[in-house]
Amino acid sequence: MIHNNRLYVTGSLQIVAYDLTGLANLPPTVVISTVNNEVKYVSPAKIKMTATVSNQDATINKVQFYADSIPLKTDKKVPYNFSWNNVPPGKYTLTAKATNSKGISGSSAPLIVEVTEEVGAAVASHSHFKGTLTAEAPTELVSITVSPNPARGILVIQSNIERNRPSSISIISFSGAVVQTLRSKTTQEIIYVDLSNLTTGVYTVKIDSGNKTYYSKFIKL
């Protein structure tokens, strides 16, 4: 017999009570993985991730995917997966968190992936959030700065990319969606981008100029 989370077993001589409290309200068990367990990619990368979830005493309400603790997607249906597109160069810590029908959550162990520049492209070195990028190619030293960072209304992009060269500038959300695209016949030294329609979050500036691609990150307040 079970009463107040205790299992009572009766015998000929005694009644033994087993405490079942510790078996109730267990958090979900979560494992995050990528296709073929890949951890190294080339930009612009497409990282497909899956969360495998189990829970003994409850159903799963939702699974949330994160990169560097920043939410990417919430999935409420099996299979729990997400394709993160247009991922710029850098190292990222991927995790998944599942919440069950009792409101109890459990998180996966972190999975670290690395995205590197395409072979033959400029090699970039920059902080995730400082917004300054320096790219060194065999014949040029390129500097790209985004300011202010964090930004609210107008973002100023300054660069010394060779002018009179067709270019394309994309603003990419952290989840990988292209939210703005600017095209020009020449690469200007200073470019102004209106951020008023963007929600708060982390974004990437992607500049395609000639056969080279450059990245820099900023935060929209």
- Rounded to 10 degrees, the C-alpha dihedral 57/59/64/68 comes to 10
Residue 37 three-state SS? helix
Domain membership of residue 16 (yes or no) is: no
Query: In CATH, what number is assigned to the domain containing residue 128?
Result: 2.60.40.1930
* pLDDT at 142 (0 to 100): 61
Instruction: For residue 118, count other CB atoms closer than 10 A to its CB.
Output: 14
Q: Give the pLDDT of the chain (221 residues) as one tens digit per residue.
A: 555 555 555 555 555 555 555 556 889 999 999 999 999 999 888 999 999 999 988 999 999 999 999 899 999 999 999 999 988 888 999 999 999 999 999 999 999 999 988 754 443 433 333 444 444 444 455 677 889 989 989 999 887 766 656 678 899 998 889 999 987 655 556 788 999 999 988 899 888 877 778 888 889 98
* Neighbouring-strand partners of residue 91: 114
92 closest CA partner among 73, 74, 69, 119: 69
Report CA-CA distances (Å) from 36 to 48, 49, 50.
10, 10, 11
Task: Report which residue type is found at 118.
Answer: E
Same domain for 215 and 133: yes
Question: Encoding tokens for residue 215?
Answer: 């990245």
Which residues touch 50 (CB under 8 Å, ≥6 apart)? 32, 33, 34, 35, 79, 80, 81
Domain boundary (83, 116, 149) is at: 116
Alpha helices (runs of H) in 161-200, residue ranges in sequence order:
none
Could you list the residue range(s) of the whole structural domain that residue 174 is in? 123-220
* pLDDT at 96 (0 to 100): 97
Domain membership of residue 13 (yes or no) is: no
Q: Do 122 and 88 meet the contact criterion of CB atoms below 8 Å apart?
A: no
* pLDDT at 13 (0 to 100): 52
Same domain for 140 and 110: no
Domain membership of residue 17 (yes or no) is: no
* pLDDT at 43 (0 to 100): 84
Domain boundary (49, 83, 116) is at: 116
Domain membership of residue 61 (yes or no) is: yes
The count of domains in the chain is 2
Domain boundary (82, 116, 150) is at: 116
Same domain for 77 and 33: yes
Alpha helices (runs of H) in the chain, residue ranges in sequence order:
none
* pLDDT at 120 (0 to 100): 47
Distance of CA 120 to the CA centre of its chain: 26
Same domain for 89 and 164: no
Question: Encoding tokens for residue 112?
Answer: 């670290």
Q: Do 30 and 97 meet the contact criterion of CB atoms below 8 Å apart?
A: yes
* Neighbouring-strand partners of residue 65: 73, 96
Which residues touch 22 (CB under 8 Å, ≥6 apart)? none
65 closest CA partner among 35, 29, 108: 108
Query: In CATH, what number is assigned to the domain containing residue 101?
Result: 2.60.40.10
* pLDDT at 134 (0 to 100): 40
Same domain for 149 and 87: no
